[in-house]
Structure 1
Amino acid sequence: MRILIVGAGATGIAVGVRLTHHGRDVTYLVRAGRREALQRYGAVLTAPEGRYTHDAATIVNSELTAQFDLIIVAVKAGAIATVVEEIAPAVGPETIILPFLNGMRHIDLLHARYPGHVAGGLIKIVASLDDQGGAVQMTSLAEVTIGSLDSKPLPSWVQSALAVPGLSVAESADVQQDLWEKWAFISAAGVVTCLFDNTVGHIREAGGLPHIESAISEAELVVTAAVHGPREAAHAQSVAILTEPGSAFTSSLFRDLSAGNTTEAEHILGDFARRARNLSVSTPLLDLALIRIRAAELSRVAAAD
């Protein structure tokens, strides 16, 4: 079983090290600079229960000629259009492509290029990269959900390949529903924290609770119009996380924006807004958040010139 992990960010390394540690054959498709760091330091995961270091098998796009059984796509959204074409030599007749990105646009792109090969995938993990490019997993949470996107079930070997200690894997009977529910949550979280430029706890304390609830409602109206209305458990989880008094929670969009990094706003919020318009759903808070983020990114680009 040959596994190709596309991207060696925090998620890719955290998953790859777990798999390698338990005997899986893992290769990372990376850029030249990232390959140099992995060759120098290895693939390193610092987790709550300990530290793991393994040699990293790496490959750059010009060397990619062999086919792989499983391709895990774990890149930032901005790279997905390029990745869709770059992985072509690795896709064989039975290859399964499992993306771990938020939103839905990446699935549309991958499915258009590789029909019948793309599975639905979500991962819940809190991790970041350290100064040497190792993954630091901050909590024990490491849950993967996979599932078929059509009527054909996933081969059983996919779950078996991923199910290793430290990585909980479940197969969903309706992974599309799971993906839409997560998209609604991260959209609402991005709108709230980016629009009000703060943590959930501070926003609530400042009187923002009605606006938080409106952002959740907006997002859920969109997914409901897309015939994937959130189940009660998903709704309750969104409300609990985004309205918790004193919470230090912020979205990844907000953290990237605050750090002056390129964000995934267009992939997560921009595509969400586009689908909302197509479904005739009004999203005033989402639209305001997008303007705020786009203006900040224009300022960042102008400052860099």
Structure 2
Amino acid sequence: MRILVVGAGAIGGYFGGRMLQAGCDVTFLVRPRRAAELAATGLVIKSPLGDVTLKNPATVQADQLGEKFDVVLLSCKAFDLDDAIKSFAPAVGPQTAVIPLLNGMRHLDALDAKFGPERILGGLCAIAVTLNETREIVHLQPMQSLTFGERDGKQSDRVRAIADTMGKGNFGSKASNEIIHEMWEKWVFLASLAASTCLMRASVGHIVASPGGRDFILGMLDECSAVASAEGHAPGTPFLKRISGMLTAEGSPMTASMFRDIKAGAPVEADHVIGDLTARGEAAKVPVPKLRTAYTHLKAYEKTRDEVAR
């Protein structure tokens, strides 16, 4: 099975690297700068689960891409999706399966429109990973998982084949019969965390320690859960219990990557993660005042950032 990983950043580099380490046929679609880095130093992963340096990983650049791949693993940010689609489109053939690991749901519409829904699986990952100043992939916590599946819930031959291949990477890969529901649950968690920590410019622990902070976070979770329920994907009780505990843990340093992006002055996925959920809630007549405030806050940040960049 030939796998094309779009990019060799934190997420794509980690999962692609673990599969490459296990002997899988993996190629990274990268820009010239990243190709030069990988040729010089290899793909370096620093992890509590084991470090590895993979010398001379196979890479290809967009203008060189002509072969078809069995699987395309896509882990870009939502604001880079259009460019990513253009870059890997030549690799998608009639039998190719695309596994997007983006948050939310809007990306599925764009991928369906370009390649047809029959080629697009559902997917999500759970991992804390980043690139350090020397462009090494740093795995911050032992947590790691990658879940994928047919969006209609069926167990297909291609999903079983992908599961067999990804299982060699030993990163908690799982084929799911409820991938869309699981994507919704992750979206509920991520949106609750991102909206709260971005609005308050603080970690979960600092918010919870402030007057009204615990009620605020739980209220945000209630709004996000209500939108998911209106869309036919009510979060399960075990999920809500676990997530409520994480979002109200005293002393927790947890923040959303979106909050860290704001602190760094970087682009954010305001429309894809918070804006789309807000719009769906309002369309379903679900009250989402906290989400709406968070979205307005993020759009104001984007405008301020754009002015500074000019």
Task: Verify same fold: TM over 0.5.
Answer: yes
Counterpart position of 2:281: 276
Q: Secondary structure at the match of 1:82?
A: helix
Deviations 1:197-231 (A, max 9, x none): 10111111112111111100000000000000001
Q: Secondary structure at the match of 2:119?
A: coil
Q: Whole-Å Cα distance in 1 between the matches of residues 6 and 287 of structure 2? A: 36
Q: Whole-Å Cα distance in 1 between the matches of residues 282 and 124 of structure 2? A: 26
Cα RMSD after superposing both structures: 1.3
Counterpart position of 1:216: 221
Deviations 1:234-262 (A, max 9, x none): 11122011111111111111111111111
Is structure 2 residue 24 aligned with structure 1 residue 34?
A: no
When normalised by structure 1's length, the TM-score is 0.96
Is structure 2 residue 138 aligned with structure 1 residue 136?
A: yes
Q: Whole-Å Cα distance in 2 between the matches of residues 281 and 295 of structure 1? A: 24
**Greater mean alpha carbon deviation, residues 152-161 or residues 227-236:** 152-161
Structure 1 position 165, deviation (Å): 4.7
Task: Letter of the 1:185 partner, please give it.
Answer: F
Contact 2:103 2:273 in 1 (8 A): yes
Counterpart position of 2:197: 193
Counterpart position of 2:260: 255
Q: Whole-Å Cα distance in 2 between the matches of residues 44 and 131 of structure 1? A: 12
Deviations 1:98-153 (A, max 9, x none): 11111111112112222201111111111110122221111221111111102553
Kindly report which structure 2 residues correspond to 1:1-305, keeping only aligned pairs within 5 A, or say none: 1-54=1-54, 55-115=56-116, 116-150=118-152, 152-154=154-156, 155=158, 156-207=160-211, 208-305=213-310
Q: Whole-Å Cα distance in 1 between the matches of residues 189 and 173 of structure 2? A: 21
Q: Whole-Å Cα distance in 1 between the matches of residues 82 and 302 of structure 2? A: 20
Gaps of 5+ in 2: none
Task: Letter of the 2:199 partner, please give it.
Answer: L
Contact 2:71 2:97 in 1 (8 A): yes
Q: Whole-Å Cα distance in 2 between the matches of residues 151 and 12 of structure 1? A: 25
Deviations 1:163-194 (A, max 9, x none): 12531111211111000011011111111111
Contact 2:153 2:177 in 1 (8 A): no
Q: Whole-Å Cα distance in 2 between the matches of residues 132 and 69 of structure 1? A: 32
Deviations 1:14-70 (A, max 9, x none): 111101111111111122222222222211111113321112211111111000011
Q: Whole-Å Cα distance in 1 between the matches of residues 17 and 41 of structure 2? A: 13
- Which one has a larger percent strand, Structure 1 or Structure 2? 1
Q: Whole-Å Cα distance in 2 between the matches of residues 274 and 36 of structure 1? A: 42
Q: Quick one: percent identity of the two aligned structures?
A: 34
Contact 1:37 1:132 in 2 (8 A): no
Q: Across the two proteins, how many residue pairs are aligned to each other?
A: 305
Change in Cα spacing, 1:61 to 1:48, as seen in structure 2 (3 Å) is same
Q: Whole-Å Cα distance in 2 between the matches of residues 304 and 84 of structure 1? A: 26
Contact 1:46 1:134 in 2 (8 A): yes
When normalised by structure 2's length, the TM-score is 0.95
Task: Letter of the 1:239 partner, please give it.
Answer: S
Q: Secondary structure at the match of 2:146?
A: strand
